[in-house]
Amino acid sequence: MNRIVRAVAVVAAITSACSAQTIGGRSSGKTVIWAPTKIDWPEQNLSPTVPKEMIGALRVADFPVILEETELEGARKRFGGTVGSRGDGGEFEAWLCLHGSDESGPWIFWLTSGELDGPAIMGFQWRRLSLNETPDRRCSVLPPDQGGIELPLRLHLGMTEADMLKILGKPSIVSGKKLIYCHEHQETIHNLPYTAENMITIVLRGGTILAIEASKATTN
């Protein structure tokens, strides 16, 4: 299965109806958030239109993450919490959940990996929590004074759509409030041909960024 298609199948993004789709229980009248939320995918074909790789690494507080290299267990040792998982085979997904807050309110963040990535982190999802949502107790807190989430493209929650478009440009697909960016290029590793794919999904609400999801996969 093409890794773009597989990554799409596990892309987690949040729309205005996210509270009805979350996985978890109820706590004090709030929806408990634990696993990343899956989305309905647009029917049109996804073609790579972005000319260069967008996000191959990021920093979580003082912890550098290189996609496809840094292991999920290494992040768990740094931040604590519990590694969750679901699915089988190509649908398998594991994650480490963190949460924090900024001047605009609380957020939740997942580092994710898949069946073909083994222990390595393949991507992340970062999104704003609504007032009726609370992180699961298995998610570790990331205090504001530790530095938060730092992406190489300087994208962040709450950024306006206009400012985001100045950084990312025209998306590969627009589906409602979701803007999807896809890059693909060929590489030779140990004299073998590989395809490297990099995806970003932006979810908008009220003209600002509600959620950011990214993944990277290199397959032969």
Write out pLDDT tens, residues 17-44: 343 334 456 666 889 999 997 755 666 7
pLDDT of amino acid 132: 94
Q: How many domains does the chain have?
A: 1
pLDDT of amino acid 80: 96
Report whether 4 contacts 197 (CB < 8 A): yes
Q: pTM score, two decimals? A: 0.86
Torsion of CA 100, 97, 210, 23, to 10 degrees: -120
Report whether 53 contacts 183 (CB < 8 A): yes
Report whether 48 contacts 199 (CB < 8 A): no
Whether residue 2 has pLDDT greater than 70:
no
Residue 36 domain boundaries: 3-219
The C-alpha atoms of residue 189 and residue 150 are separated, in whole angstroms, by: 29
